[in-house]
Amino acid sequence: MKNRSTIMQGLYIAIGLFLGNAVALPLLSEKTFASGAREGAIAGAIAIGLFAIIAAVKPAKGDEAAKNVDVDSGGPA
């Protein structure tokens, strides 16, 4: 998969946002678990979406097009 580490990083951030909003915020404030879970799910979905867009736009490490550079002209082969 192209840029798997970027997508996995987005997934970990989404999990952290969900758990933070669903568990930590209700303990520290007047929010309920349900409202925190709802806001955490929305924030997690946005985070996964942003990281998926970044992974789609960013070239993959070890891309063949980046390796095939003609040394004489300085451009692609």
Task: For the chain, give every domain's residue range.
Answer: 10-59
- Tokens encoding 1: 């998969």
Tokens 């097009």, located at residue: 65
CA atoms of 13 and 19, how far apart (whole Å): 10
Name residue 76's beta-bridge partners: 69
Which residues does residue 69 pair with via DSSP β-bridges, in sequence order?
Answer: 76
pLDDT number for residue 73: 60
Over its length of 77 residues, how does the chain's per-residue pLDDT go in tens digits? 678 888 899 999 999 999 999 999 999 999 899 999 999 999 999 999 999 999 899 887 765 555 555 556 655 65
Centroid of chain to Cα 36? 21
